[in-house]
Amino acid sequence: MTEASNGPRGGSEVGYFLIRRLHSLTGIIPIGVFLCFHLTINATVVLGPDKFQAGVDRIHAMDELGVLKIVEVVGIFIPLAIHAVLGLQIWLTGRQNVLAYRYGANIRYTLQRWTALITLAFILFHVWQMHWLGGWFPPGGEQFVPGQAPKSAAEAIQASTWYAPIYVIGVLAAVFHFANGIWTFLISWGVTITRRTQGRVGYVCAAVGIVFAAVGLSSLVVLKTTDPATLHVEPHEASHAVAVNLDPAD
Partner 1 sequence: MADREIQFNVKRQDGPEAAPYWEEFTMPYSSGHNVVSALMYLREHPCNANGETVNPVVWDCNCMEEVCGACAMLINGVPRQACAALVDDLEQPIVLEPLSKFPVVRDLVVDRQRMFDALLKIKAWVPVDGSWDIHRHAPLISPNEQSIRYLFSRCMTCGCCMEACPQFQQDSKFIGPAPFAQVRLHNSHPTGSFFNPDRLHAIMGEGGITDCGNAQNCVEVCPKDIPLTDAIAELGRQTTIQWIRDLFVR
Specify the stretch interacting with partner 1 by CB under 8 A; choose among 96-104, 117-125, 126-134, 146-154: 96-104
**H or E stretch including 84?**
helix 78-93
Is 204 an interacting residue with respect to partner 1 (CB under 8 A)? no
- Count interface residues toward partner 1 (CB under 8 A): 42
Is 248 an interacting residue with respect to partner 1 (CB under 8 A)? no
Closest distance to partner 1 from the beta carbon of 193 (Å): 4
Q: What residues contact 224, with CB distance under 8 A and at least 6 apart? A: 154, 157, 158, 164
d(CA 169, CA 162): 11
- Toward partner 1, which CB reaches closer, 8 or 139? 8
Q: Using the rule CB under 8 A, which residue among 101, 133, 137, 246 binds partner 1?
A: 101
Cα→Cα distances 161→134, 147, 158, 217, 244, Å = 19, 25, 7, 16, 39
Q: Using the rule CB under 8 A, which residue among 190, 234, 238, 250 binds partner 1?
A: 190
- Number of other residues whose CB lies within 10 A of the CB of residue 190: 7
Closest distance to partner 1 from the beta carbon of 2 (Å): 5
Measure the CA angle with vertex 232, ends 230 and 238; round to 5°.
Answer: 145
**H or E stretch including 206?**
helix 195-225
Is 7 an interacting residue with respect to partner 1 (CB under 8 A)? yes
Is 161 an interacting residue with respect to partner 1 (CB under 8 A)? no
Is 203 an interacting residue with respect to partner 1 (CB under 8 A)? no
Closest distance to partner 1 from the beta carbon of 16 (Å): 5
C-alpha Rg value of the chain to the nearest Å? 21
- Toward partner 1, which CB reaches closer, 97 or 225? 97
Closest distance to partner 1 from the beta carbon of 98 (Å): 8
Is 184 an interacting residue with respect to partner 1 (CB under 8 A)? yes
d(CA 213, CA 206): 10
Crossing angle of helices 195-225 and 149-158, in 10° steps, is: 90
Half-sphere exposure of 62 (CA within 13 A, CB side): 10
Closest distance to partner 1 from the beta carbon of 75 (Å): 24
- Toward partner 1, which CB reaches closer, 31 or 182? 182
DSSP character for 95?
-
Q: For binding to partner 1 (CB under 8 A), which residues are involved?
A: 1-2, 4-9, 12-14, 16-18, 20-21, 90, 93-97, 100-101, 103, 105-106, 109-110, 112, 183-184, 187-195, 198
